[in-house]
């Protein structure tokens, strides 16, 4: 599986001493019938990608599109990671 440079840097950060689990959540977002839907939520980006791909593989109508990084307690994503 090949990841973008931004996703690789995020994975390095979550494995560093600076990362504090629970500070952010990662939301796997997909397209379904012209709508954007959340198909996975996790504390780490690699687990979110894994679960979102697993979910999307089970339904040909779902297209895994991107990941939103949301600071705990916030309503708006602070980062968006595109999926190839």
Digit-coded pLDDT (tens) for 31-70: 999 999 999 999 999 999 999 999 999 999 999 999 999 9
Q: What pLDDT shows up at residue 3? A: 81
Residue 4 confidence class, pLDDT cut points 50, 70, 90: confident
Domain that residue 28 falls in: 5-82
Residue 21: pLDDT above 90? yes
The domain tally of the chain equals: 1
pTM: 0.91
Tell me how far apart the alpha carbons of residues 83 and 64 are, in angstroms, rounded to a whole number.
7
């Amino acid at each position: 599986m090949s990841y973008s440079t931004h996703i690789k840097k995020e994975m390095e950060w979550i494995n560093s001493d600076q990362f504090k689990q629970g500070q952010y959540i990662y939301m796997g977002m997909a397209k379904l019938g012209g709508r954007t839907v959340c198909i996975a939520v996790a504390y780490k980006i690699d687990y979110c990608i894994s679960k979102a791909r697993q979910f999307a593989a089970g339904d040909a109508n779902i297209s895994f599109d991107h990941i939103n990084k949301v600071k705990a307690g916030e309503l708006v994503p602070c980062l968006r990671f595109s999926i190839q």
